[in-house]
Structure 1
Amino acid sequence: MRKSNAKIVVKVGTNVLTRSDGSLDVTNISHLVDQLAMLKKEGHQVVLVSSGAVGAGRELLPAADEMDPVVRRQMLSSIGQIRLMELYRQLFAGHQLLCGQVLATKEDFRDRRHYLNMRNCLEALLHDRVIPVVNENDVVSVTELMFTDNDELASLVTAMLNADTLVILSTVDGLLTAAPDDPTATLIPTLSATDESVWSYIAPVKSSFGRGGMATKVRMAQHTARLGAEVILANGKRRDSLVEVLSGKGLCTRIPAQAQPSNLKKWLAQHPTTNGSVQVNEGAKMVLTDGASVSSLLPVGIISVDGDFKKGDLLSIIGPDKESIGIGVAQYSAEKARNLMGQKGQKALVHYDYLMIY
């Protein structure tokens, strides 16, 4: 382990927790808990983002597969969550540890007060003999409240807690240069958070029982690394893979962390909903995206204002070709922004401290 008392988020995919027939793989789950307990007893702060509730429900009530897909998912999750948490409770108890359940929806990350309340709860749990187990609240998460999958949830939790490392465990060793069943495929050991060439290696294929796939994992991994945490993609079916990759050994793909932004900027970067948008000219885009300088969004660089936002609302910032370049908090209303648009010497619409450039 590179750092003592590190804060580590471990995301475990459905296929790591289940067998080929969809039933829970209790043996592998037990071994995962052993590794998490080892990390905890070494003094690290550990959060588990666990899939598997729907799979656990399907094992108990297979006939539910004939129901409406949305209702089925809610029902299976409601039943399976109890089964999964009871299994975690028993296994962690064998290490004299407790586990605490934290269920989340996207709405908890959109609302700043909900966000801070959840962060405070997780921080409190981390300072005791508790492993927080975070999962999407599938019972109430439908359509716009749903995460892409638990990779997105793990990324949000990692940023929220200022975690040092996010480990995403799936059933492959990391990012490969071809499909896992291709004999020419080789492991990519290190990936930059800004490397766009990686997309030529990734096929948009979802896992058999989960909602995500490697494309989602890499997208979220690079995003998380840009927000200041190291990300490791590894194989959760390999024995001792978690402790090995965290000690710098084992097969995996590592995405090194970039400079860490402020907590507020992290929240902005993870916020999907805005109340309006402003389009900037090429000069303003160059200034705002120049990582070597500190710049606020001034009216002189704005060429259009969309929406009826107020002071304190969130704004999308788009470039001259309508590409998204950032998000920020408005310092005054849309009406005032329209009146000041293109003028020099005016107050910033978005101050640098409340501005996140992607």
Structure 2
Amino acid sequence: MQPRWVVKLGTGILSTPEGNLDLPQIRRLVEQIAMLKGEGWEIVLVSSGAIGSGMDLLGYRRRPTAIEELQACAAVGQPQLMRLYEELFSERGFHVAQLLLTYLDLDSRTLYENAQKTIEHLLARGIFIPVINENDVVSYEEIKFGDNDRLSAHVAAMVEADRLIILSNVPGLRERDDEGGRIIPLVERITEEIEAMAGKTRSERSVGGMATKVEAARIAGGAGIPMQIADGREKEILRKIASGDPVGTLFLAGGKP
């Protein structure tokens, strides 16, 4: 049986420097996910990008900063983003299913179980790819602080994933805060030193930065799920991870590789 992955696509790898959707890049990522699906992988996609999708229609040339503007972009952009995913995946024989979650949903036992059962049913059908985003129109936790990093960890725990993969515009956790800093390939345990490294890592095109990714690794690790951070713009990155190539940073969970 092939693994079950939760793959999180961050704002930085779905958008141009101005904040609009990067259509050629999205197509490349869809091709990789569809390839793995065709080989039997079970994939749950946690996707940012709704705000970038709505910016053009609302006339923004750059990503806005006010919460109400971001939420308006998300309201306009979410259906556009899903239409794009459906178009690209259907060309490859798959379909998408949208789930919008808030942290209130995750806190409610009944709502949590309902979402869990829905995802399991979709995965069992084989041809569907659940696409999850925070419901940004009514909840702004992730668009303000985390770019779906922590949400993806909670989803990984919900579906009992074999691995959480966060594809970002950074190649992994660096020892120091510059592009020359060495990538740490393996984190066996999240220590104060690791947290300090993450706290120094920032990116203009990423909402959450490395700190929320390390927090996501902590959440996933608590559920026994390893997490990998990798550069989503690296060629065939998901194939490389599936083949066991040493890319990015792998956070272990209880010794589980």
TM-score normalized by the length of structure 1: 0.66
Return 5+ residue gaps in structure 1 as ranges.
Answer: 261-358
Q: Name the structure 1 match of 2:231.
A: 235
Whether 1:188 and 2:184 are equivalent positions in the alignment is: yes
Greater helix proportion: 2
Determine what percentage of the aligned residue pairs are the same residue.
38
How is 1:89-238 mapped onto 2 (pairs within 5 angstroms)? 89-128=86-125, 129-142=127-140, 148-181=146-179, 183=180, 185-204=181-200, 206-238=202-234
- Higher relative contact order structure (alpha carbons within 8 Å, sequence separation ≥ 6): 2
| Distance (Å, rounded) in 1 between the aligned partners of 2:154 and 2:54 | 25
Distance 1:68 1:209, change over 3 A: closer
**In the alignment, does 2:7 pair up with 1:29?**
no
Does the residue aligned with 2:199 lie in a helix, a strand or coil?
Answer: coil
1:70 maps to 67
Count of aligned residue pairs for this structure pair: 255
What residue is the counterpart of 1:258 in the other structure?
Answer: 254
Change (3 A) 1:257 1:142: closer
1:71-124 CA-partner distances (Å, limit 9, x unpaired): 212210011111111110111011110000000001000110000000001111
Instruction: Give 1:226 shift.
Output: 2.9
What are the ranges of 5 or more consecutive residues in structure 2 without an aligned counterpart? none
Q: Structure 1's 109 and 29: CA in aligned 2 closer, same or farther, altered over 3 A? A: same
CA-to-aligned-CA distance 1:10-65 (integer Å, 9 cap, x gap): 00100100111212111111110111111111111100100010111113223498
Q: Deviation at 1:219?
A: 1.9
Q: Distance in 2 between matches of 1:233 and 1:157?
A: 16
**Contact 1:58–1:64, Cα closer than 8 Å, also in 2:** yes
Asked whether the equivalents of residues 18 and 25 of structure 1 are also in contact (C-alpha less than 8 Å), the reply is yes
1:233-273 per-position Cα deviation (integer Å, ceiling 9, x unaligned): 1000111011202221142111122279xxxxxxxxxxxxx
Superposition CA RMSD, Å: 2.4
Task: Please report the TM-score for the alignment, with normalisation by the length of structure 2.
Answer: 0.91
CA distance in 1, matches of 2:204, 2:244: 30
